[in-house]
């Protein structure tokens, strides 16, 4: 995931969670609202979780991923949650037609994290777009990109098969 901590700080300030409270943030309007690409949990809630995780494993079970287990355990322990669905953009929550290396949604200045970006070049491309260093039009179209290169689904720049493997950025800034 591309994570921008300074943006998280702004979200936390605007949420105004009670000081020293045990709370976690629901981070996306998808499935169970707590995707593991960005788990925001207060230190007090983490302490409660750590002290009771074994009991949760015994009583709740270990079905599902670590994010689902963590959320179920925190809920069972009475830890409160707050909601900020603008924290995370996760491609896995989208319908058909997304591309693993597409950086178009990295332009959203309100997002704290974008997921997944598992290839170095696509991660770096998203980070550059999110920080205003590049724009999606600087990238090759996803239809002509090398596997792993950052690309733009909306981009009109076509890659050239005879060009050596690059990073997907056509116009470097």
pLDDT digits (tens, 9 = 90+) for 110-137: 999 999 999 999 999 999 999 999 999 9
Window from 7-11, 54-58, 60-64, 133-137 with minimum mean pLDDT: 60-64
pLDDT of residue 171: 58
Q: What angle do CA 37, 99, 135 make, to 5 degrees?
A: 85
pLDDT of residue 146: 83
Q: Which pLDDT band holds residue 32 (cuts at 50, 70, 90)? A: very high
Cα torsion through 116, 122, 128, 130, rounded to 10: -30
The whole-number average pLDDT for the span 98-118 is 96
Whole-angstrom Cα distance, residue 26 to residue 43? Answer: 16
pLDDT of residue 164: 55
DSSP 88: E
Q: Which two tokens stand for residue 86?
A: 């603008």
pLDDT of residue 168: 63
Q: Which has the higher per-residue pLDDT, 95 or 77?
A: 77
Window from 22-26, 85-89, 135-139 with minimum mean pLDDT: 135-139
pLDDT of residue 143: 85
Q: Which has the higher per-residue pLDDT, 173 or 6?
A: 6
In terms of phi and psi (left: phi > 0; alpha: psi -120 to 50; beta: otherwise), the region of 56 is: alpha
Whole-angstrom Cα distance, residue 58 to residue 62? Answer: 8
Mean of pLDDT over the chain: 91
- This prediction's pTM: 0.87
Whole-angstrom Cα distance, residue 24 to residue 34? Answer: 9
DSSP 73: H
Own/partner contacts of 19-23, CB < 8 Å, gap of 24 or more, are 20/44, 21/80, 22/47, 22/48, 22/79, 22/80, 23/79, 23/80, 23/81, 23/82
Q: Which two tokens stand for residue 157?
A: 């720049």
């Amino acid at each position: 995931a591309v994570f921008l901590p300074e943006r998280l700080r702004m979200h936390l300030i605007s949420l105004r969670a009670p000081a020293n409270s045990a709370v976690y943030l629901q981070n996306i309007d998808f499935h169970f609202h707590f995707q593991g690409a960005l788990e925001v949990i207060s230190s007090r809630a983490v302490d409660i979780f750590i002290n009771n995780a074994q009991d949760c494993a015994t009583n709740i079970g270990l079905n599902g991923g670590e994010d689902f287990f963590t959320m179920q355990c925190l809920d069972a322990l009475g830890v409160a949650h707050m909601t900020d669905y603008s924290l995370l953009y996760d491609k896995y929550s989208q319908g058909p037609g997304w591309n693993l290396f597409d950086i178009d949604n990295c332009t959203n200045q309100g997002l704290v994290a974008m997921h997944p970006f598992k290839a170095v070049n696509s991660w770096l491309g998203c980070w550059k777009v999110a920080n205003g260093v590049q724009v999606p039009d600087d990238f090759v179209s996803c239809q002509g990109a090398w596997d792993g290169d950052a690309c733009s689904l909306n981009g009109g720049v076509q890659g050239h098969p005879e060009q050596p493997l690059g990073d997907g950025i056509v116009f470097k800034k």
